[in-house]
Structure 1
Amino acid sequence: MSQAPANPPPAKKAAGGRKFELSEELKAYKGVWVIVEQERGKVHTVSYELLGEARKLADKLGVEVGAVILGAPGPFINEISGEAIAYGADVVYTVLDAALAEYRTEPYSKVMTDVVNTFKPEIVLLGASTLGRDLAGAIATTLLTGLTADCTELDISPENRSLAATRPTFGGTLLCTIQTLAYRPQMATIRPRVMQMPERDGTRTGRVVEVTPNLAEDIFVTKVLDFIPDSDQEEAQLAFADIIVSGGKGLQKAENFKLVWDLAEVLGAEVGASRPCTQAGWVTSDRQVGQTGKTVRPKLYIAAGISGAIQHRVGCENSDVILAINSDPNAPIFDFAHHGIVGDALQILPALTEQFRQRRLVNRKAS
């Protein structure tokens, strides 16, 4: 297995413009893969979300869903393999070696390049996490193929059976659909909480293929010195919050953002913000919701003083319930919010906070 192969000859464009004829070598690529992101036995939920999406794509193509698990040998591998099958995989490729115990770009990209060249999947999906973004770019480079990053929608083109990957562009003002017609595999990354979590089916069965990588630790220049779990960091965990209260420039000045913090505290919620607020320094950038920030999918999303431009919309529109507060009745956010309050957020936020505080006191007394 070679580390940096030349891609197969490109597909030929047929007369008529849009229809492509794949070369025989490209036709050999079959299946939709998800690279399962796991660290020390803990799987990132985006991997299960992608398995659900991969299942839909594979069913349209009439092919199998593959899940790839990289790591060191351990008892948790069998458990992860079973979960991958329960969430939609038909086959699980376990790639195990002591050199893969912790994520590093060099060994992971070498192994994935070799595995893809051996088994030839036509589509490879990764989560747009810190790890996924790093790995996706590395292996797309070594495989000499295309990569569409931060997608919000995936589908199969009925014209040529290629992956149609949609993502915001021009600062989130437009949506564009990209197809990698002439190269394989087709690659895409998708942010956590963009795709819906599929139903787990414990009755599903699948097979496991064990892959032995050709690795030697001494050829890699990087070493892992320490591991800091996300739970030990002080950054906001917006992608996993059930309730988020976000503020926008409609709050007028940084001091007024305290009203968002007050409501979030009463609700036990995370605090989010629009891009103008983080750019102005009202809150830290890890709390930005939107195309250039975090994509969220909470049970309740409260947007106070946020206009709802597409840059912000793509970050929150998949929330179960969106409550918008804005003084402009024509604000774009009312086009996709489930409930709207037309009014001054500086007056409404304190009223909501007090009402929820009183309700919480009543519930405590009742219990």
Structure 2
Amino acid sequence: MEWREFLGSIISNTSERDRIATEIGVHSVTLSRWVSGESSPRPHNMRQLLRAMPKPQRNQLQSLLEKVSSDVSDVDIDTSEQEIPYKFIMEVLDARASIPDLLRFWSITRLVLQQALRQLDPERVGMAITVVRCMPPRDGKIRSLRESVGLGTPPWGGDLEEKALLLGAESLAGHVTVSCRLEQIGDLQSNKTFLPAYQSEHEVSAVACPIMHACRVAGCLLLSSTQLDYFAPEARLSLVRGYTNLVSLAFTPNDFYDPELIALHIMPPPNLQQSFFNGFRQRVLRRMQNSASSESRIASTDAEQLEWLQIEESLLNLPPEPSHAQV
């Protein structure tokens, strides 16, 4: 028996076909095309297919697939990977209890993002994860969000913080922060829903989850993938929610705001923002040096925040551009 025939016998059950398709993030019609031979799954899809298989059929399907592809010969189909390891959760809690206040945000977010990348993109097909946080209120209202700590696997760079931007109502992150509800877009190129989003380079699908505490919001965790419908499986969305909750431990209570205070503006697109960030590190250093000669000495995090506020003010005062097209 060939693997296509075996898969066909499994998905002849319509409910099982739909479950498997949802689990691996493809359309049910795609499964039928694999069975008929109209198309073949990519190595990544083959591995996802095995992980979605019911236990009784996994080994047999893997044996059949190994006859036509070496990419599945060493697949680990342990379903425990669908949950955040308990040992790691304890590691984050220990960090929360022991790390000094000044280092807590950076240390915990880096720790969580590194583990999230390992678990959500184990085959390194390409993912970016960024912590997006609210800028301080202006006249009592929050006008924009800023990308903060970010990590990625190729084709994204390892550290994304140097490419951080300000986001507003035009972005998926902005929409999720305002609504306080997780949203995912399976195909940014053909997205026709109400969700606004700029599509960055390499980005094919995306998901954002609000960072919440006591019904208040601090921003969101934003994830992008090079793969179509990568965040469609419910198991993957559950991991996104879990890692977002862990990221929330990096924030202080004062970092969370009543959703009624979120009144985001439309921020300029990345190409227009970039010039305002040129020399950012030099300006931060200059602020610190100037403060060193006075009694009001400021830390690097405070100097960075002041620079972000200056950039936000400049961007908010720019005239609106007709090129702010939405995806």
Asked whether the two chains share a fold, i.e. TM above 0.5, the reply is no
TM-score, L = length of structure 1: 0.22
Considering fraction of residues, name the structure with more helix: 2
TM-score, L = length of structure 2: 0.24
Considering fraction of residues, name the structure with more strand: 1
User: Relative contact order, CA 8 A, sep 6+: which one is greater?
Assistant: 2
